[in-house]
Amino acid sequence: MPASDSAPSPDPSTVVPPAPSPTIEPPKLTGAELKKQKQAEKAARRAQTVIGKAVMPPPAAAAGPSSAGLRPEAANAARGQQRRANAVSSSSQQDIPTRSKKSGSPIEEPKEEDKTIEFFRHLTKTKAYPAGLKGANKDVHPAVQVLGLQMSNYMICGSSARLVATLQAFKKVIQSYTTPPGNTLTRHFTSHVLSPQIEFLASCRPLSISMGNAIRWLKLEISKVDIDVPDNEAKEGLCSAIDSFIQERVTLASQVIASSAAEKIRDGDVILTYAKSSVVERALVQAFEAGKKFSVIVIDSRPLYEGKHMAAALANLGMEVRYALISGLSHSIRRATKVFLGAHAMMSNGRLFSRVGTALVGMEANSYDKPVLVLCETIKFTEKVALDSILHNEIAPADELVIPDGPLENWRDVKGLQLCNLMYDVTPAEFLQMIISESGNVPPTSVPVLHRLGNESQA
C-alpha cells in the first residue's frame, strides 16, 4: 500500500503544488490568474517528476513523499495524498481528459481527485470511455466501428449477442478484403487486418470470453486456409465457416439448452431468474408453450435494469411474472422452487462469471436450499479460473450509477467519494447444482472436460 510510504520525509522539491482544496472553496480567479496558476503547476509537476525520476524511479513512490512533505498541516492524511500522488504520477505520463463540464467552478487537471478505486484500478481503461471514432485506427472497418460503438453504449449487450454481432462484422471485413500482391491471405489477414479490428473492439469494451473463444477459432480457421486457394474461394469458405459456427455453437446450442431446461420445469414450479439471459428467456417461453403451469420471478438490479425487458416479454406472452429488485431477493427466494441463471462465462474451476448480483442470488438460493441451474453454451466455457471477482472483471463508467438530479449528481465534486460500477461477479461452484449446456447437463466440476471437448478439440 503506497499509503504507508507517506511518512514525512525531506522533500527535494521546493515548488508547492496547490492544495487539493479548490474544488471545495471555489476560487474566484480571473482568466489571467488561472493561466498563471496553470503554468506554475505545470512547472512544478515537471520539476517534481524530474526530481522523482532522479531520486526514486517509481513515480508513485516519488510523488508520495514529496506531497507529504509539502503539506505540514497533515490534516488531509494518507488517503488524499495517495490519490493525489497517483494523479500527479499519471499526469506525468499523459493528460487525463477532463470529464466534468457541469460544475461551475473551474477544475484544474492536477487537482482533480482520482475517482478510480484503488482495488479495481487495474480494470480501469486507459482510453477514455466511448472512444468515438476519433481514436480509431484507420484500418478499422466501418462495420466494426459501428459495432464497437453499439457495444460501448450497450445497444448490443450480452455475451451471445456480442459474439454473433462480432462474427457478423468480421464476415464483412473478410468480404471486403483483398490480399495485397505478394502476400497470402493466411499470412496477411490475421496480423494486418483482423488484429486492428479486435483491438478496436477491445478498446470499446473488453472482449467477452465467448468472443475470445470465437476469435481463437477464427484465427485457427484462417491459418488452415490453403495458400493456393484463390482469394474468392477462401473468403467464401471462411464466411460459410463463420455462418455454421454461429449456427452450431450459438443458435442450435441455445435451442438445445432451452429445451433441456424447459424439461426441468414442472407444473407448479416458481422459477426465479436474475437480470436477462436470452437462453433463460427462451427456455421459459418454451416451457410455457409446452403448456407447463409455472410462474416466474424476475430479479433485477440497477443500473442496467436488463430484467425489465425480460419481465415485459414474458408477461406479454401471458406468463405469470413477478418483478423485484435485488434488494427484495431474500423475500422472493422463499417463493421460488428453482433458480435459472444465465452466464457470461463458466470458469474451469466450476465458478460462474455473470452479471454483478448473480453471486448474491446464488448464495441466497443456496441458503434456502433451492437448486440453481446455469444455462450456458459451451462457447462460453473458458480454461481460466476465477478465485474472486477482482482480478478479471469489467468496470463500467461510474456515472451510470448516478441518477440524474439525484443527490449524487455532482459526486465528482465530493471529496473522498468514489463510485464503483462493476459489471460481473463470480459465483462459487458450491452454489450451482447443474450446468445445462448443449452437450448435456453436467455438474460444475465437469466444465473443464466439456471445454476440452468443445472448444479445444476443434483443431
Partner 1 sequence: MDDTASTTRKTSTISSPNYSAASPSFYEGSTTPPPLTGHPPGLNRMATVGNVPQSGAGGKSEAFDIVKTYHRLLAEDPELTMPVAAIEALIELLVQSRAVTVFETLDLVKTQSDYLKSRIPNSISLSAGTDLFQRYMISSLNPRSTGNFDAVRQHLLSNGRLFVSRAKAGRERIANYGRHFVRDGSVVLTHGGSRVVGALLSKAADASASGGNVRFNVIYVMNDARNSESKAVVSALRAKGVPVATIPEGAVGYAMGKVDLVMVGAEGVVENGGIISRLGTYQIGLLAKAADKPFYVAAESHKFVRLYPLDQFDLGFDQEVIKFTTEDEGEADEYGVKTPRVVERPEYFGAPDVPETPIEAVDYTPPGLVTALITEGGVLTPSAVSEELINVWW
User: Where on the chain is the footprint of partner 1 (CB under 8 A)?
Assistant: 264, 338, 371, 373, 433-434, 439-443, 445-446, 449-450, 453
Q: Which is nearer to partner 1, 70 or 262 (CB)?
A: 262
Which amino acid is present at 92?
S
Residue 334 has a CB neighbour count (10 Å cut-off) of: 10
Helix (H, G, I), strand (E, B) or coil at 133: coil
Query: Closest approach of Cβ 348 to partner 1, in Å?
Result: 13
**Among residues 264 and 412, whose Cβ is nearest to partner 1?**
264
Instruction: Quote the least distance from Cβ 442 to partner 1, whole Å.
Output: 5
Work out the widest C-alpha separation in the chain, in whole angstroms.
Answer: 79
Closest approach of Cβ 441 to partner 1, in Å?
5
| Residue 303, preceding peptide bond in cis (omega within 30° of 0) | yes
Spatial contact of 151 and 201, defined as CB atoms under 8 Å apart: yes
> Residue 387 Cβ, how far from partner 1 at the closest point, in Å?
18
CB of 451: closest distance to partner 1 in angstroms? 11
Q: What is the DSSP letter of 446?
A: G
Between 173 and 450, CB nearer to partner 1: 450
Question: Hey, what amino acid is at 82?
Answer: Q
284/396 with CB nearer partner 1: 284
**DSSP SS3 for 127:** coil
By C-alpha distance, which of 453, 383, 380 is closest to 207?
380
Q: How far is the CB of 458 from partner 1 (least distance, A)?
A: 14
Nearer to partner 1, 92 or 441 (CB): 441
User: 252 vs 422, which CB is nearer to partner 1?
Assistant: 252
Half-sphere CA count of 360, side-chain side, radius 13 A: 16
User: What is the distance between the alpha carbons of residues 433 and 283, in angstroms, rounded to a whole number?
Assistant: 17
Smallest gap from residue 271 Cβ to partner 1 (A): 12
Per 3-state DSSP, the chain is made up of helix, strand and coil in percentages (nearest 5) of: 50, 10, 40
State the Cα angle at 354 between 131 and 412, rounded to 5°.
45
CA distance 184 to 228: 9
Output 167 or 265, the one with its CB closest to partner 1: 265
